[in-house]
Amino acid sequence: MAKLITNPQIKKAIKDCERDECVEIILEIAQSCHQAREFLTLKFTENHSAILEDYKKKVRYEFYPPHGGFGRLQLKNAKKAINDFKKICPNKVMVIELMLFYVECCIEFTNDYGDIDERFYCSAESVFDQVAKAINTSDISVFEMFSVRLRTCVDKTRHIGWGFHDCLKETYYEIKWVKKL
């Protein structure tokens, strides 16, 4: 495998460039890498919701393709969309939104089509756990933004097997602002 340039080497090279050269390099990166263009869009514009919606479509496609029929359930593709979004988006709330959307799609799919398998539920549980942890490192306003949806996720899993409901419920109660009943 080729040895790639390190961050200190990049920093030094950029310091040695003229401003116009730096602009040209950034434009070349944006031209050659779609994800870099998305990153720059999030960094320099207010067009955040459109990018989030594109990533939501990628997640939803794995459950409910736009042309109808059963979803492919390629969970790795849906989770890749989440991980790709995390790389380009510095906004924690938007990342939580996408992760929670994934969990909601898992729950909706199960309630529409019946029991899936353990791997499927473990994936949803893992992402729900990431949501809870991200909320716990935020302030209460972030929890308040998502509180109804979080509770709805738990409530909609009451009749799903594999211990899915119990796991989501336990994770939900680990959120520091949730009051135990």
pLDDT tens-digit series, residues 140-175: 999 999 999 999 999 999 999 889 999 999 999 999
Residue 97 lies in a domain: yes
Per the structure, the complete domain to which residue 139 belongs is given by 23-172
Percent of the chain past pLDDT 90, that is, above it, reads: 86
Residue 5 lies in a domain: no
Beta strand segments in the chain, E: none
Contact between 140 and 94 (Cβ < 8 Å): no
pTM of the predicted model over 0.85: yes
**The pLDDT of residue 181 is above 70:** no
Q: Could you tell me which residues come within 8 angstroms of residue 101 by beta carbon, excluding any fewer than 6 positions away?
A: 56, 59, 60
Contact between 103 and 127 (Cβ < 8 Å): yes
The mean pLDDT value for 21-32 works out to 93
Write out pLDDT tens, residues 79-133: 999 999 999 999 999 999 999 999 999 999 999 988 899 999 999 999 999 999 9
Secondary structure class of 128 (helix, strand, coil): helix
Percent of the chain past pLDDT 70, that is, above it, reads: 99
Structurally, how many domains does the chain consist of?
Answer: 1
